[in-house]
Every structure is written in structure tokens, then in C-alpha cells.
Structure 1
Amino acid sequence: PTAWESAARTDFSAWPARGPLTGDSGLLHRALAVWARPGATVHVSATAGTEIGGPAGPPQLLYAGQVDNARVVVFYDGLRIARYAEPVDGTQGAALDFARADGATGAEASALVLGRSDGNVQYLTAPWVQKAASRNLMKPDSSATSLKVTNGVTAPLASPALRPGNCTSWTVLQLTDASGTALSTDLGELVPAHLTVGKPGSPGEVSDTAGRAAWAPFACSLAAERSVGVRSVNAWSYADQPLPDGSGAAEWVCTRAETWRGDGTGALAQFRTPGGRAAAVVAKGTDALSCGPRDPHVLAGVLWKSAAGHWYLLAAGDKDTASIQAGGGVTAAGQGQFLVARAKQGARATLKGTLENGQAINGLR
């Protein structure tokens, strides 16, 4: 159980087998048999881009035990996490779930979902995790709620992946180890998504009040990333734009979700007026390079109505933006990273920009 202490990597291969049923050979045999040949009555699911075939070699057992009303077995085969679950009172209605986990290390390999019920989720945490807690991401100044961890299994905490209705809170998992503190969120899959904050290419952990405050207005936008194979989500505050009516500055943030499979990434440009509790998603790019490590730039715009009733096109790029041009329903141009132009209600504009190095950039749409 302590082999991880001398392991070269902090990944799933360093996890020991845990749970009270690791010695139940019948259960383990059934789990492996179903993985090799799931029958017609087995419910099989997988995150996008994840193979559902049998293991290429002997998989590593991570957990075997009872979770709520099911016996659960979790394996790792070097590329995927596989979770087998069967009812406590029989084997009819078994389920087999898969998720990619190739290359996961550190915070990305610090927790797995064991089960969900009654709006809650339970995690199995890495052996190097020292403390676990839950937080409401929308209340950055509030204290974390300590979670009891028994043999690596957390007490249940609210799952935002299961919550219906309006978004009024967003509960995240906070884990602390020798390297520091990190946040992850349940997006409906076996591996929670790692949350980071900062400029693409060099983001940091959401480990202090400033990091949590940066995420708070944008927490509800995570709902758009449920069940699409998300590995991590970064929030990058790229501009503060003075508003034309003198009411302060609006914040522009790009949240970018990276996936385990590489494609299907999602970038959201979000706009928040002064004092606004939540932001508005004003542009979205799928499989766009914007806001990512390969292209750490972004340009987006929004139609905004001032308190005096005037409509404006507001556009903002990151600090490397030299000029912005608008076409279509609004024709305007300006130097620097901001553009402000009078507009009519309902006008639709296209945006193009030029970076200081001469590179062209298109508006996220």
C-alpha cells in the first residue's frame, strides 16, 4: 500500500488496490469477464473517444467494495479507467463504464468517481492526498467543508453534474497533498475535471482566494462541459474594458475545456459587467485553438446596452492585440485591444484583429 511513496510518477499506476472486497475472487472474476465480453443485459458507457474493448493485458485493480447499493470494482489498464458495478442483491443490471486517463498525473490522477446517488458523488482519492474538502465555487470567500476520508473513499458531497434546475451553487472537490491544493469538479464522468486559472500555457492551481474569485462568476458555465470527456478547464481573465458610459470596466474571460481525446475542445468567451454576480457567454468555439497553449490569444465581442439606453458593440482582445476591425451589421475599426462603436439593437457584427506581431486573428463566434 505504500509503494506509491517510491514511485517515479504520481499517476494511477502508483495507486494501491483498496476496498473491503479486494479479496472477493468471485466478484473480480465477474468484473473481468464482463469487461472481456459484456452481455446484452450489461449497460456499457464510455466518455467520448474512449475504446470499450477488453484490456490489452492484465489490468491493475484500484478498488473493490460496496458503494451505496452496488458492488463496485475499478480497474486501470494504463490508458483507461474501467468501473464495473452490480447490484448487491444479484448480478442482473450490471454496468460497465470507461474513461480515458492516458497521461494523467498529479492533480489529474488524484481522484476517481466511485458512485453517484441522491444528488451526491463519492470519490476514491489518491494515496498521496492528505486532506479532502468540498467548496462552493461561487462563494470564493467561504470556508471549505472538510470531508471525511475512509481508506481513500470520501464522504458524499453534492454533485453539480446531477443538479437540475437553475444554477445557484457549484460544489467542487478540494484535495491537498505535499505539492499544494487543487480543485476538481464532477462533470458526469469517472475522472473529475481539473480546474486551473491563468494565462494559457502557464496556468496555476485554483488554490487561494484570488484564484477562486477569478472562477466564481463563471462557475455555472461548467454545465456546458458535462459528459463530453473534459480533462481540465482553465479560466483566463484576458481584459478589463472601460465601458463607454463611465460605469466602470467590464471583465472579459475565456474559459477553455481540454478533452482527454484532444479534439472537441471548447472555448467560451465570457463578459461580466461591474458588480455582476455571473458572466454572460457571448462567443463559443469548438475545436478552436483560441485561449489554448498553442494559440494563447482571443478576440470576442458583445452588444451592450448602457444605462442611458444606448447600444454599443464592445470588443476586446488580449494584450497582444494591436487593432480590431468590425464588419457586417457594425462597421468600425480601432487601435489597441479594445473597440467601442455605437450600434443598433440586434445588430450582428463580424470581428477581425491583428496582433502586434502582424498575425491575423478572427473573433470567436
Structure 2
Amino acid sequence: MSTSQRPSAKVSGRVALDQAEAVIVDQYTRLVRLAYLTLPHTLSRHRRVLVAHALVQRALPGFRIGRAAPRVPEQRRGRPDPAVAGTRARVLRSALAHDRRPRAWPGFLPPPRTLRPMLPMVWGLRLFPRAGGGEEIALGQVLSEVPAPARAAFVLLQLEGLSRSEVVELLAAADVPRPERAVDTAGDLEAAAGETTETLLRSREFDACSVQTRPTDLLRRRRRYQLSWLAAGLVALCCAILLTGVGAAPPGERDRTADVQLAVTPDQLVRTPPDAWADTSRVDFTAWPARGARADDDELITRALATWTDPPRGTRIGVARSTSAEPPPGQTQLLYAGDVGREAVVLFHDGRRVVRYAEAVSSPSGSASLTVSRSDEADVTTAAALVVSRASGKIRYLTAPWIAEAQTRDLLTPDSPGRPLDMSDEGVTDAVAQPPGKGPCDSLPVLQLRSSGKIVEKHAFLVTDLGGLAPAHLSYTPLPGTGAPPRQPREATSGAALRSWARTACRLPELRHSGVRAVNQWDFAEQDLPEQGGKAVWSCTRASTWRGPGDVLVQFRAPTTSATAPAKLVGQARSTAACSRFGQHIVAATPWTAGSGRRYLLAAGSREVTGIEVTGEVDATERGRTLAVRAPKDPDVTVRARLSDGETLDEVGSRTAR
């Protein structure tokens, strides 16, 4: 008896070649679209178009000698005939197997290209679907973040109108393990995408049969043709040189644009007018003009676009979490091109991402670096600066055109004024110290930027480097007031904000390289400590990421003579809505020892908390927003709060040994 949970696809009879050919001709566009959306998004759009056409054209039964044909779901009443089902299964099987390692293939070797598009062949042209709008781009981003079987199931459900059971059978016939999981993921995508999903999938953004054509580099092709005659006369000499190992150019010194077909050329880049930022309601990266002394250097920009389109071997690549590395789309914007220190740097923005390309000024043909980060829904603060250079523990920023003044300050010296930071006419700052990583936390440098009065009056704010291209925005929410409504986050430039951040700033390096967009410090409760121990403050530090989820750290600040004594971590949670506008209530607890040596359990909640209950090794109930009760060392307890609307609230995170 079989115990496998994988559905078995019943096999029908063999499909005649003429029937399969008729299906391919009749449904060619739909099959190509299915293959195009299923193929890995790591391929360039040009290559995905060619591979999709090749897979459909090679979907005739028995095209590959010595390889078993995929199983075909049995025909049922109201289902497609075996020829349609079999052709879909063959196309899906080939698309899902692209870049997959065969059994027993060595793990240290890359997967073989068993599905090279031998037909059609295109010379001198680059093909890619026509660009869609913002909704199509967003849907493409979502699809790129799910596995290929889920993409295939999504297309089959949305465009082909198949039922869940039919899709499960078809995926099983295409050798997909656990096809139910792929269908479940596709269902989640359908719920998130909304009612216009089918219309978006039928748009030109995903139609690999209605494509644009662009030539490859015409001048380079002409030079190659002319040089080929010269090369033919030197064949004998070249062979002799190759045999002795002399004259072969190292891989890193070859022209990285030679074999790349650009998706976007320098003259197609969007260049925003210099004064657009002062006359727009959308103050973000789209308002940045193209700046830099090399903004008209087509050779540098071409190398940057070529590296982004198809990074050559040896390129140092950094891609933020949940960020697509696909080639530049049609509406890519140039932000900057110029020399910064020993590097030539180019910055791009495509509506969803910012991209930094860098190469050595002394060796343009050498190895380069490419960094890709998310930037969707940036605003006046999160689009205020980009890292343009990192070297020897120092950072240079390119500031937004609306930044009128820049200063540096140390979060661990809250009472010290900011120090002016010089900027060039292009907006590039002098080098500033990089915040510490692991190790001692003796200082934590931040930028204090001030916006121009043309967009907002007297607006200063703090940002700091957390490893991304865009520095994270730091804000502060003060203790609750006596009335309503609740306090809202504000800029962390006041004395109270700086003093609060000074006690918790050394936790910021733990957030490096996690795609943090903004960090808010919320002082949610103040408590009188037992035995006249003074006043303590409870805070929740929330790090919100560009991809959406946020992590929180709940900290307890007891009275101390040091303005920078680290706060006590009393709870933490990952991927939570807590401490945001969608999670405005919180309760936390911690053990505490008084000066007399007596031990207590302390708890506190946010402004809507009306009572706190503790159960376990300590049983206590207290009306109000705070609780203090005698307790053994590190008691095992459960803490809950009652809210003003009658609901109950659990403690955020798990308390650790303190």
C-alpha cells in the first residue's frame, strides 16, 4: 500500500505527433506565456523570451531521444483533451527543469545547460516584452519571489482557468514534488494580487510573443567585422603565442560589455530636470536629477548597464533580501555618475530598486562591484541620501537635491551639538566614520540632515548607515501624554529623543545588512520603582524593513548616573506588527533587584492598558499600566494585560535571563 501524499497522475495513451503539433500551433502564445512566467527570473528578459519559445517548439512528443515522456493527466469530462494536457506538461516539465542539476551531478559544479535554446536563433537583436505600468512591475516582483512551481500554478489557475485538482495533476505530471504546496502558494498570491490579476497577466509585460527589438552594439559589431580579416592573417602567430601562454588577457581585463546585449542603453535612461524636486508633490528618488562629472560618459554608463544586465565572472554582487536582481527595465533613471576617491561610481533607480555600480578609476576593465537594494515607497527622509563610497571604515553619501545642510553627531553624546559636514556642489559629502559592527560600541555616528525650505520649513532629521545603500531613518515617539490622541513618531532631534537613543543606540549594529528602512524608538511607559528606586522608562525599538516586516526590541531603562549606560533588553520579536501603527498596544515584564537586594517582578503596558495579570511562579493582578511585585530570581511567569476595550494582550517576545 502506498503511503505517499503526492497525487498520482493517471497516464493516458500516447498522443499523435500531428495532434501535438496542432495544439502547439493553436495555443502557441498561451504556452509561451506559461513558459516565460515559469522560467527563473535570474535569466535576463531577452534570454527568457528565447528559452520560452524554444521550450514550446521542442514540446513535440519524443523530441528528446532516450528521455521518458512526462506523464499526462487522464482525460475527464470537461477537461482538456490528452494532446493539450500532454503539451502543457512537457512545456512545464522543461521550464521547471531549467538550470536544475541532474541526479548524481556533483554539487560543486553549476547545473548543465541542458535546455539551451537551439531554436530560434537571433543574431544582432535583443528581444524583450514591452514594458508595462507600475502594477505589472509590482506583480513581476511578487512572482520573482516565489518558487517556479508556484508561478506555474498561478498562471494555470488565473489564465488557463483550470481547477485546483487539475493544476495539482498537471504539476504532478511535470514531476513537481508536493504540487499541493505550489497550488496553496498560488492561492495566496491570488488573494494578495486582487481582482485585476488576470488582466495584468495578459498585459504586454508578460507577453513573450509581442516583443520589442533593439540592436546590439552596432559600432562594436562593425569593428569586429573589420578586425576579423586582420585576425585571419594572424592565426598562425596567435596559435604560437597561445601555446606559450603569452598574450592571453586575464579574464578580469576583458571588455565586460563585449558579449552583453543591453536591455537599456545610456540614451534611453530617464534624466530628471535639475529643479524638478522643488516643484513636485512626490519627493523621492524620482525627483533626483542626474548628477556627477561623468553623467555624460556613455562608456562608463554602458559598462554599468552591461554589468547590471549580465554580471561577468568576478563581479562582486550584493543583493538585499527580497530584492530582484533582474536587468534594468525601460524606465531606469540615472542618479549619478562620477569619480569618488579611487572609484568610478554610477547610481541608478528603476522605481523599485536603487543600484550602485563601482569600478576602479585606474582599471576600468578590471573587476567591478554591483549592489542592489529596494527603494519602493521612499519619501523625503528615506530618499534623502545614498551611500556613494565605502572605503577604510569611511562613508561618503550623495545627498538628495532638497538637502540644504548636513551635520554629523554621535548618538552616545546626546548633549554635544552636531558638527557641520561639507558637501560638494554635486551633493557628495566628505567622508564620515562608519558605525561600528561587532565589537566595542564607543561611538555611533549619524547624519543630521536639514531639508530645504522650498519643500518643508525647519525640518531636520537623523539617518544612519545600517549596511544598505540608503541610510535608515531614526525617529522617536515620546511617553504618552495625559490626553488623546496617542503620540505620533517625530524626528529624533530633540533633547528627550537624543537622551533616549543614547541608552539604546548600541543595539543598532545588530540590524546591519537586514534591509532596514527606518527605526523608531517608542518610550511607551514610565514606572515608579519600589523602595524609592526612582523612575524607569520602558521603550520599544522597532526596525521596519523595506520589504515590510519589522523586528522589535523591548528595553528597560533604570535610573543611572551615566547618560549612555546600555538599556536592559527584556523582550524581542521578529516579523511582527507590534510597536507600529498596526500594533499600538504592548505589555512587557522583567525581573529587577532593588538596592536592598530584594527581588521584584516589574511589568508595564502602553496607554490603553487598564490592568496587568501575572500567573505562574508569581500570581498577582494590578489595575493600571504598571505592576511591581516581590518575586524569586528569574521567575517562570506568564504576563497578560487587559485593554480598555476588554481585549487581552500577551507579553511581547520572550524574556531572557537578565
1:42-98 Cα shifts (integer Å, max 9, x gaps): 121122211111122141111111223221110000110000111223233311101
- Give the Cα–Cα distance (whole angstroms) in 1 for the partners of residues 509 and 600 of structure 2: 29
Deviates more, 1:269-278 or 1:97-106: 269-278
Are 1:154 and 2:440 an aligned pair?
no
Q: Does 1:182 align with 2:457?
A: no
Pick aligned residue for 1:205 from 473, 491, 497: 491
Q: State yes or no: 1:268 paired with 2:553.
A: yes
Instruction: In structure 1, list runs of 5 or more residues that go unmatched.
Output: none
Contact 1:201 1:296 in 2 (8 A): no
- CA drift at 1:208: 2.5
CA contact (8 A) 1:201 1:293 kept: no
Which of 135, 143, 150 is equivalent to 2:417?
143
Shift of 1:294: 0.6
Give the Cα–Cα distance (whole angstroms) in 2 for the partners of residues 231 and 103 of structure 1. 10
Name 2:606's counterpart in structure 1. 318
2:617, 2:515 → 1: CA distance? 37
Between 192-201 and 250-259, the greater mean CA deviation after superposition: 192-201
Give, as a single letter, the amino acid of the residue that structure 1 aligns with 2:637. Answer: A
| Higher strand fraction (1 or 2) | 1
Percent identity over paired residues: 40
* 1:19 partner amino acid: G
Give yes or no for the alignment of 1:132 onto 2:406. yes
The residue that corresponds to 2:472 in the other structure is 193
Matched AA of 1:129: I
Q: Which residue of 1 aligns with 2:529?
A: 243
CA apart distance, 1:268: 0.9
Q: Which amino acid aligns with 2:475?
A: T
Aligned equivalents of 1:16, 1:126: Cα separation in 2: 9
SS in 1 for 2:470: coil
Q: Does 1:364 align with 2:652?
A: yes
Which SS does the other structure have where 1:315 is aligned? Answer: strand
Give the deviation of 1:209 after TM superposition: 2.2
Deviation at 1:104, TM superposition (A): 0.5
Gaps of 5+ in 2: 1-273, 479-485, 654-658
Secondary structure of the 1:153 match is coil
* Cα distance in 1 for residues equivalent to 2:503 and 2:578: 21
Distance in 2 between the 1:25 and 1:56 partners?
18
Cα shift at 1:310: 1.3
The aligned residue for residue 326 of structure 2 is 53
SS at match of 2:552: strand
SS at match of 1:346: coil
Aligned residues: 363
The higher radius of gyration belongs to: 2
User: With structure 1 as the length reference, what TM-score do the two structures score?
Assistant: 0.95
Partner residue in 1 for 2:335: 62
1:11 & 1:157 partners in 2: Cα distance?
24
Select the residue among 27, 34, 37 that pairs with 2:300.
27
Deviations 1:212-250 (A, max 9, x none): 223221111212211111111111111111111212011
Q: How far apart, in 2, do the equivalents of 1:248 and 1:201 lie?
A: 24
Query: 194-203 or 249-258: which moved more?
Result: 194-203
**Could you tell me how far apart the structure 2 residues matched to 1:356 and 1:298 are?**
13
Q: 1:281, 1:211 → 2: CA distance?
A: 19
| C-alpha distance in 2 between matches for 1:349 and 1:16 | 57
TM alignment of 1:102-113, pairs within 5 A: 102-113=376-387
CA distance in 2 between partners of 1:145 and 1:342 (Å)? 48
**Residue 293 of structure 1 aligns with which residue?**
581
Give the aligned CA root-mean-square deviation in angstroms: 1.5
Contact 2:438–2:509 (Cα < 8 Å) also in 1: no
By percentage of residues, which structure has more helix? 2
Residues 41 and 92 in structure 1, CA contact (< 8 A), matched pair in contact too:
no
Cα distance in 1, alignment partners of residues 489 and 289 from structure 2: 30
| 1:17 equivalent among 275, 290, 300 | 290
Corresponding residue number in structure 1 for 2:369: 95
For 1:79 and 1:268, the matched residues in 2 are separated by: 28
